[in-house]
A and B are shown apart, each in its own frame.
Chain A
Amino acid sequence: MSGPLTRRRTAELPEHPDFLWRKPQLKKSYDVIIIGAGGHGLATAYYLAKNFGITNVAVLEKGWLAGGNMARNTTIIRSNYLWDESAGIYEHSLKLWENLEEEVGYEMFFSQRGVMTLAHSVGDVRGKQRNFYANKVNSIDTEWLTPEEAKKVAPILNISDTIRYPIMGATYQARGGIAKHDWVAWGYAKAADDMGVDLIQGCEVTGIKVDNGKVQGVETNLGFIAANKVALAAAGHTSTLTQMAGFRVPLQSRTLQALVSELLEQVLDTVIMSGAVHVYVSQAHKGELVMGAGTDAFNSYTQRGGVHVIEHQLAAACELFPIFSRAHLLRTWGGVVDIAPDASPILGLTPVENLYINSGWGTGGFKATPGSGWVYADTIANNAPHALAKNYSLKRFTTGHLIDEHGAAGVAH
């Protein structure tokens, strides 16, 4: 038999369970309606049921479950953010990730293979060092690597000083890593379904009914559904929904692209990010290189981005990883991310009573899934912002108390 079987080191995935979720009968009313069955919506439903016993919940999805950004992201997980607020919620999330598979009872391929963030200039080093020390004081695991140390972690890295922007150092969060996005979403969905949450696919919200400043329910293509509480979890489509409810949010929807290569033998067993040259790469369990690109600069709901973004990114990738030069680009795609002016989420109450918002995760939504779901469920159940969300309110744009992750993180993959 031909074929280099003995050199294969990448893994075949196990199978999903025999049964995932019901196709429930839509009820006339619910205690809580969550709009959007993406990662955050499903996690929110799960924690509402699990932490608060609130199971009379419908998660409405206009397309197919977890078919938005949850199906389109590059699955990077880390918590080494600059600002205390971000560190707080992302670290809470990472701690949840660390027990999630066991808790939910679903394989998610959560792999703490480390996340390395490269610095390419004196100024870049200064910024990354600040991030490193900020993580230290926030008790978030972090290391500073010299280029030589970085190469020990990822031997395929080109640390020569002949490249245009040589690597001058890196932060490394060993607890960071990746998971498999569909498996995460399906794990939450199955667990929520098991606890009685109704997952309603093909249900598009066309209106939000508000009386006397209080939400009453939602109009959908399947008719009116009454609800005591309505929670938005629709990422790039949030501003369309808030418009239905009669208020504005400072969000812009942009295309964020990603790509994969064909299956390759294992060459990279950590996650490497470089904001300076826009490379975000990991090698997934099956062996494909998964890379994130930058966001397109203009508003779009098309889920397709510019090819020049991909070309630029592959050029940078070949610089940093000469071994990638012969990999093949297999598929590119785009998601619609919602970005707030300070690149931080908006999570909490809204001007409409019993209507809640969770949005603005921009390019960082996947890693936040458990933390965001947890905090949002708490906020909904108690009708008050969770402690980790108190600085993420809409009000911050009025006071000026922004949580500006732009400066340090760029694209916050």
Chain B
Amino acid sequence: MTKVNFEFDSKMYSGTKGEPLVVALLKNGIKTVTDSTYLSRPRGVMALGAEEPCALVQIDSGSGEPMVPATQVELVEGLAARGLAGIGDLPNVSDDARYDKANRHVEVLIIGSGVAGLKAAQIAVSKNQRVMLIDDAPRVGGYFVAKNNEIDPELLAVLDSPNLLHLQRTTAIGLYDQGYVVAIERRTDHLSANYDPKVARIRTWHIRAKEIILATGAFQRFLVFPNNDRPGIMLSHAAATYIDKYQVQIFKKAVVVTVDDQGYEDALRLHKNSIQVQAIVDVRSNAVGALVDEVKKAGIEIIFDASVTNTQADEKGELAQVAISKVDLTGKVLSAVKEISCDLLAVSGGWTPTVHLATFIGVKPKWVKEKAAFVLQDLPKGLSAVGSVAGDLGETENTPASFFGVLPEGELATVSFIDLQRDATVRDLKRATGAGLTSIEHIKRYTTIGTSHDQGKTSGTTTIGLLSQLISKELEEIGTLNFRPPYIPVLFSALAGRDRGELSDPIRTTPIHAWHLDAKAPFEDVGQWKRPWYFPQNKEELHQAVARECKAAREGVAVMDASTLGKIDIQGPDAAEFLDRIYTNMFSTLKINHSRYGLMCGVDGMVFDDGVTTRLGENHFLMTTTTGGAAKVLDWLEEWLQTEWPELKVYCSSVTEHWSTVAIVGPKSRALMKKLAPDLDVSNENFGFMTNQYAAVAQVPARIARISFSGELAYEINVEGFFGLHIWNAVMDAGKEFGITPYGTETMHVLRAEKGFVIVGQETDGTQTPQDLGMDWIVSKKKEFIGKRSFIRSDTSRDGRHQLVGLLPKDKLKLLPEGSYLVAKDSKQAIADSNHIGYITSSYHSAALSQTFALALVADGRNRVGQNAIVPLFDEQVEVVITEPIFYDKENTRRDG
């Protein structure tokens, strides 16, 4: 018993380490924890655990948490909390406590370590099964221990089994199909009010179990009557536990109101703790048996056919007196019996099995009248229940009454609470039925019952029951319990886990990345890749750096890390035939060591991806894809191979990371290439455009390709990924004398756009055919390929589709925004009329052209070449000329040097 100090509502108190905060508050005489959300009525603790509908606190110590039931908080030195009126307060600093996740596969998962759960564990362990046992309380034993019982040591011994993983303070929050359970383990809050950012505060478990056994117990229900919400009114089982087990000694005089024998049992526990139990008010007409006899022996008055029908408060708003009346089972008040002063009203309204997890996968609990409870039925294979959640609510001598409270009229109805957090009352329920509503779902929505922090744990059955009383229908005709995950509120942080910051999505970098970092290049996110965007020198802005980089590529030599392009190794005797079916153009005619640009379409005929594919051998190709499209393309290839063309012997492997690619670009690239590979004949005659040669570069074996995405003479040096940085450094060293300039994605875009080369995903959005892009030349008429049939549909074959064109602004310095729209020249009322003719896909300053230019998709664009159009911006209308989509070196004279 360690004494600790804690703060509540800015005052210091002391308590015992490990006891629930509510117990410490009660022991310090604090019955009112907070006030209600909407009506500001004082509220105290009502229940024992997660079902607590009233005593919410905000935790200010440690990493802080906005809304927690005080029943669930264990006392530690330095804990700071304050009562919370149902609306949480988010601290405006990020939670830097650690949250992690763990996975576990087991044969049997048992949820709940009460006696039923322990017994189930014992059986599973005895069968040598891999077992996991979790429970949301700090200690095992559930209600059995709450009733001050000792667990049989033989049963407890199961916890030492090596086949059992046992976790307390671990709440199953979700149950999903195929035996999947997510649980939240609170690991550190009970140890210290502070937290160690290196230790996981909460661990989220993902558990896959062959068999799940629910041993989740049951919640006691309260009853509805006027002013049933005052501090001092508690569930009888909670009151008895706080007083009998935790030795809360602030209550003197009690009344018990009950519908079952539980009220008698709890009355006796109160009585044994020197509380004057003045009456048991039982709605039933009679009750007999040993328990009743014991109550009578203790001198406790029993009032049958009655219930509590009102309460009075003291000056603090806490319970001072109850009114007892004769009632019938429909909730009608018949006649007053008496009023009794008391500071505790213990309410025993029956039990509701904790069926939540099963309802998450569609199980519909059935109302069993003899038990006055919704009980699980028709559980799917692999899911079972034991103990009270299975409807095993203990043998009692007298059946419980299906009674949920009184249904007063007028003002009293407005203070007869059904959902204490929502301040929803009998009046609301009556209004809902009066409004014509019959569905329980409508009634919940009309009244907001069940939508708050406790998600109707205590109010769910009560609402259905009261409705049954109100409209004289059986409960099962009205509805059943229906919950949604999670079982308890869960911190966003806990479910986010460590997938935050740089771990939120994998970062892919090339082997040359370290160099780019040293060069302080800003990066562009392309899919998961980090690609250098540009390489600023002397605090250059983007456009200054790009102008310099472009100039180097057009006039000298520039270098780019092209390693991120997707690469797929395709081998097999039918590889060429396969590519013919995938690409719109022919690949079976490609010679070994030659490369060809290819375009692939979806079955809808729309451009899907592009890239250069090289034939490395008779039956061996290396396909490149767009950086962002690599995974998608590989999936696509596999899908066709495996599900449509099993007759083709072709094998595809992703080799994106296996190769590093360094592109050297510009008129001086040949001299540089010569210097890098002195034995290689780099002449155009012997090393022509779109061919490949093998040579050692800086002592590393390399495949060198004459591929150009800029229109300039260019060589791509491909080496094993590991050598990427080595080759890059070698290129930079050798290139020094040529003034070699590294460039990034932005310059790449400008260079290709000047040549009118499209980028899939920029010039396309999934609605362009190859013909729209002016690429009819790449669409083979001689063979079948994916998407071909779609080109002759009426909309894809019509005239006037949006086609790729170039744009030159009349004002040569005016940079058109990418994404902006064009209107025809003759329409001055551009914006208002929405008569746009197309939009701009790419737009850049061109150093080579000494002006800006753009690519655009324009309706009937090819027929509009030479016409003027307008790009309406905010405060100006920019005049442009529509051109062919090529601006630089139209004759392709530069690519061969």
From the candidates A137, A399, A400, name the one contacting B821 in the complex (CB within 8 A). A137
From the candidates B362, B489, B745, B766, name the one contacting A328 in the complex (CB within 8 A). B489
Determine whether the beta carbon of A4 is less than 8 Å from that of B85: yes
A19 near B: Cβ within 8 Å?
Answer: yes
Known: A65-B442, A326-B95. A19 touches B434 (CB 8 A): yes
Interface of A is mostly: mixed
Q: Mark B455-496, 1 if CB is under 8 A from A, else 0.
A: 100000000000000000000000000001110011111011
A314 near B: Cβ within 8 Å?
Answer: yes
Determine whether the beta carbon of B525 is less than 8 Å from that of A64: no
Q: Mark B765-788, 1 if CB is under 8 A from A, else 0.
A: 111000000000000000000000
Known: A67-B441, A126-B762, A318-B493. A2 touches B455 (CB 8 A): no
B15 near A: Cβ within 8 Å?
Answer: no
A196 near B: Cβ within 8 Å?
Answer: no
Q: Mark A8-22, 1 if CB is under 8 A from B, else 0.
A: 101011011111111
- Determine the chain A residues whose CB is within 8 A of the CB of B153 once the complex forms: none
A324 near B: Cβ within 8 Å?
Answer: yes
B259 to chain A, nearest CB (A): 29
Known: A131-B819, A326-B64. A3 touches B605 (CB 8 A): no
A59 to chain B, nearest CB (A): 15
- Determine the chain A residues whose CB is within 8 A of the CB of B83 once the complex forms: 2-3
Stretch with Cβ within 8 A of A (4 or more), from B34-42, B294-302, B633-641: B34-42
Known: A1-B42, A328-B491, A329-B492. A302 touches B362 (CB 8 A): yes
Q: Mark B659-683, 1 if CB is under 8 A from A, else 0.
A: 0000000000000000000000000
Determine whether the beta carbon of A132 is less than 8 Å from that of B795: no
Cα A319 to Cα B498 in complex, Å, equals: 11
A352 near B: Cβ within 8 Å?
Answer: no
Determine whether the beta carbon of B94 is less than 8 Å from that of A325: yes
- Determine the chain B residues whose CB is within 8 A of the CB of A264 once the complex forms: 66, 87-90
- Determine the chain A residues whose CB is within 8 A of the CB of B794 once the complex forms: 398-400
- Determine the chain B residues whose CB is within 8 A of the CB of A122 once the complex forms: 524-525, 533, 745
Stretch with Cβ within 8 A of B (4 or more), from A25-33, A330-338, A376-384: A330-338
Determine whether the beta carbon of B66 is less than 8 Å from that of A262: yes
Known: A5-B85, A18-B434, A121-B525. A127 touches B819 (CB 8 A): yes
From the candidates A10, A22, A318, A402, name the one contacting B87 in the complex (CB within 8 A). A10
B86 near A: Cβ within 8 Å?
Answer: yes
Cα A191 to Cα B491 in complex, Å, equals: 41
What residue of chain A has the Cβ atom nearest to residue B818's Cβ? Answer: A126
B834 near A: Cβ within 8 Å?
Answer: yes
Contact residues, B64-100 vs A (CB, 8 A):
64-67, 82-95
A95 near B: Cβ within 8 Å?
Answer: no
- Determine the chain B residues whose CB is within 8 A of the CB of A163 once the complex forms: 501, 504
B740 to chain A, nearest CB (A): 25
Determine whether the beta carbon of B766 is less than 8 Å from that of A262: no
- Determine the chain B residues whose CB is within 8 A of the CB of A120 once the complex forms: 525
B832 near A: Cβ within 8 Å?
Answer: yes
B497 near A: Cβ within 8 Å?
Answer: yes
Determine whether the beta carbon of A333 is less than 8 Å from that of B484: yes
From the candidates B34, B90, B821, name the one contacting A134 in the complex (CB within 8 A). B821
Known: A7-B89, A263-B88. A121 touches B436 (CB 8 A): no
Count of CB-CB pairs between chains A and B under 8 Å? 272
Known: A263-B37, A407-B766. A329 touches B495 (CB 8 A): yes
B761 near A: Cβ within 8 Å?
Answer: yes
- Determine the chain A residues whose CB is within 8 A of the CB of B448 once the complex forms: 13
Known: A64-B441, A329-B490. A399 touches B436 (CB 8 A): no
A51 near B: Cβ within 8 Å?
Answer: no
What residue of chain A has the Cβ atom nearest to residue B35's Cβ? Answer: A3
Cα A312 to Cα B500 in complex, Å, equals: 10
A265 near B: Cβ within 8 Å?
Answer: yes
A316 near B: Cβ within 8 Å?
Answer: yes
Known: A126-B762, A164-B505. A324 touches B793 (CB 8 A): no
Cα A401 to Cα B378 in complex, Å, equals: 49
A203 to chain B, nearest CB (A): 13
From the candidates B317, B795, B839, name the one contacting A400 in the complex (CB within 8 A). B795
Determine whether the beta carbon of A5 is less than 8 Å from that of B839: no
Cα A67 to Cα B442 in complex, Å, equals: 8
- Determine the chain A residues whose CB is within 8 A of the CB of B497 once the complex forms: 311, 315
B180 to chain A, nearest CB (A): 8
B209 near A: Cβ within 8 Å?
Answer: no
Known: A137-B831, A407-B766. A129 touches B818 (CB 8 A): yes
Determine whether the beta carbon of A400 is less than 8 Å from that of B605: yes
Cα A4 to Cα B831 in complex, Å, equals: 51
- Determine the chain B residues whose CB is within 8 A of the CB of A222 once the complex forms: none
- Determine the chain B residues whose CB is within 8 A of the CB of A310 once the complex forms: 495
B128 near A: Cβ within 8 Å?
Answer: no
B411 to chain A, nearest CB (A): 16
Determine whether the beta carbon of B87 is less than 8 Å from that of A287: yes
Contact residues, B173-203 vs A (CB, 8 A):
174, 176-177, 180, 182
Known: A67-B441, A325-B492. A12 touches B38 (CB 8 A): yes
- Determine the chain A residues whose CB is within 8 A of the CB of B533 once the complex forms: 122
A257 to chain B, nearest CB (A): 10
What residue of chain A has the Cβ atom nearest to residue B91's Cβ? Answer: A326
Cα A132 to Cα B874 in complex, Å, equals: 12
A182 near B: Cβ within 8 Å?
Answer: yes
Determine whether the beta carbon of B435 is less than 8 Å from that of A326: no
Contact residues, A243-296 vs B (CB, 8 A):
261-265, 267, 277, 287
Determine whether the beta carbon of A21 is less than 8 Å from that of B66: no
- Determine the chain A residues whose CB is within 8 A of the CB of B65 once the complex forms: 326, 328
B61 near A: Cβ within 8 Å?
Answer: no
- Determine the chain A residues whose CB is within 8 A of the CB of B485 once the complex forms: 307, 331-332
Determine whether the beta carbon of B9 is less than 8 Å from that of A129: no
Determine whether the beta carbon of B435 is less than 8 Å from that of A16: yes
Determine whether the beta carbon of A23 is less than 8 Å from that of B436: yes
A325 to chain B, nearest CB (A): 4
Q: Mark B512-535, 1 if CB is under 8 A from A, else 0.
A: 000000000000111000000100
A165 near B: Cβ within 8 Å?
Answer: yes
- Determine the chain B residues whose CB is within 8 A of the CB of A316 once the complex forms: 504
B632 near A: Cβ within 8 Å?
Answer: no
What residue of chain B has the Cβ atom nearest to residue A133's Cβ? Answer: B820
From the candidates A23, A123, A330, name the one contacting B453 in the complex (CB within 8 A). A330
* Chain A CB within 10 Å, residue with most, of B40, B42, B90, B839: B90
- Determine the chain B residues whose CB is within 8 A of the CB of A311 once the complex forms: 204, 495-497, 499
Cα A7 to Cα B85 in complex, Å, equals: 11
- Determine the chain A residues whose CB is within 8 A of the CB of B501 once the complex forms: 162-164, 319
Determine whether the beta carbon of A64 is less than 8 Å from that of B435: no
Determine whether the beta carbon of B500 is less than 8 Å from that of A315: yes
B361 near A: Cβ within 8 Å?
Answer: yes
What residue of chain A has the Cβ atom nearest to residue B33's Cβ? Answer: A2
B111 to chain A, nearest CB (A): 16
Cα A319 to Cα B35 in complex, Å, equals: 33
Known: A16-B446, A404-B765. A307 touches B182 (CB 8 A): yes
A322 near B: Cβ within 8 Å?
Answer: yes
Cα A34 to Cα B294 in complex, Å, equals: 64
Determine whether the beta carbon of B484 is less than 8 Å from that of A134: no
Determine whether the beta carbon of B90 is less than 8 Å from that of A327: yes
Cα A296 to Cα B442 in complex, Å, equals: 27
- Determine the chain A residues whose CB is within 8 A of the CB of B180 once the complex forms: 307
A54 near B: Cβ within 8 Å?
Answer: no
A387 near B: Cβ within 8 Å?
Answer: no
B758 to chain A, nearest CB (A): 14
Determine whether the beta carbon of A265 is less than 8 Å from that of B33: no
Enumerate the 4 nearest inter-chain pairs by beta-carbon distance, A residue then B residue, closest first.
Answer: A130-B819, A322-B94, A129-B819, A328-B489
**Interface CB pairs A-B, < 8 A, 17:** A2-B82, A3-B84, A3-B85, A15-B428, A121-B526, A123-B762, A133-B820, A133-B821, A133-B839, A136-B831, A164-B501, A264-B88, A304-B176, A326-B90, A332-B486, A400-B605, A400-B790
User: 11 more A-B contacts (CB under 8 A) besides A21-B436, A325-B491?
Assistant: A1-B32, A3-B35, A4-B84, A5-B35, A17-B435, A162-B501, A311-B495, A311-B497, A311-B499, A323-B90, A400-B795
